[in-house]
């Protein structure tokens, strides 16, 4: 709150601080996403910023849930649209990329699907879900993508080998 006061005269700075603290508090409050009430003006700029960030985070979460629901309902275009909303807020969202890949694959947009799945594999290279999506898509495309399918198959074999060769998984087999 005091950062903008740097470099100003002492009298102006004091007057600015007094004015900030003597503003009338609004009578109405608004509900936050967690059900509590807050008056952003009364709470100050930090609360306003926190409230804005929470709304943005919740919007991305809501859009991701909407994308999943659209996939479950086989509404591919809606799923892609909602997942793109998530990516506008978080460009590195793994699940948004996976959802775009799956919905694009199901709607026959194979280039878009491959791009989304590859984006997801770049975010989480050791997570098999996006690799499995690529594999399924390449299998449906037949001989045209046999080289890519082989590469994906080898990556999946590596992921599973590392998964099952970990000390924790070896101990659970005994």
Mean pLDDT is highest, among 9-13, 26-30, 122-126, 169-173, for 122-126
Question: What is the DSSP code (8-state) at residue 143?
Answer: G
- pLDDT band for 140, please (50, 70, 90 cuts): confident
84 domain residue, yes or no: yes
71 domain residue, yes or no: yes
58-79 pLDDT, tens digit per residue, is 588 999 999 999 999 999 999 9
25 domain residue, yes or no: no
The closest alpha carbon to 101, from 143, 152, 56, 154, belongs to: 152
pTM: 0.62
Contact 103, 79 (CB under 8 A): yes
pLDDT of residue 155 exceeding 60, the answer is yes
Domain with 105 in it: 47-173
119 domain residue, yes or no: yes
Residue found under tokens 């996403």: 33
pLDDT of residue 82 exceeding 50, the answer is yes
Q: What is the CATH number of the domain that holds 169?
A: 1.25.40.10
pLDDT for the residue 174: 55
37 domain residue, yes or no: no
13 domain residue, yes or no: no
pLDDT for the residue 172: 63
C-alpha to C-alpha distance for 150 and 158, rounded to whole angstroms: 12
SS3 170: helix
9 domain residue, yes or no: no
- The residues, ordered by sequence, that sit 6+ positions from 124 with a Cβ below 8 Å of its Cβ are 94, 130
C-alpha to C-alpha distance for 104 and 71, rounded to whole angstroms: 10
Q: At what angle do helices 128-141 and 146-164 cross, to 10 degrees?
A: 150
For 48-67, what is the mean pLDDT? 66
The closest alpha carbon to 134, from 158, 162, 115, 109, belongs to: 115
164 domain residue, yes or no: yes
pLDDT for the residue 112: 97
Total tally of structural domains belonging to the chain: 1
């Amino acid at each position: 709150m005091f950062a903008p006061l740097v470099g100003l005269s002492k009298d102006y700075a004091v007057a600015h601080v007094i004015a900030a603290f003597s503003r009338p508090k609004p009578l109405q409050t608004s509900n936050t996403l967690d059900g509590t009430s807050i008056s952003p003006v009364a709470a100050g700029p930090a609360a306003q910023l926190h409230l804005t960030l929470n709304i943005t985070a919740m919007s991305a979460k809501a859009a991701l849930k909407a994308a999943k629901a659209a996939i479950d309902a086989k509404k591919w275009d809606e799923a892609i649209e909602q997942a793109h909303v998530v990516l506008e807020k978080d460009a590195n969202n793994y699940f948004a990329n996976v959802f775009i890949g799956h919905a694009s694959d199901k709607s026959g947009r194979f280039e878009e699907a491959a791009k989304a799945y590859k984006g997801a594999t770049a975010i989480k290279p050791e997570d098999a879900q996006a690799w499995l999506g690529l594999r399924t898509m390449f299998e449906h495309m037949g001989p045209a993508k046999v080289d890519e399918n082989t590469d994906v198959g080898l990556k999946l074999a590596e992921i599973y080998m590392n998964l099952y060769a970990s000390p924790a998984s070896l101990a659970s087999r005994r």
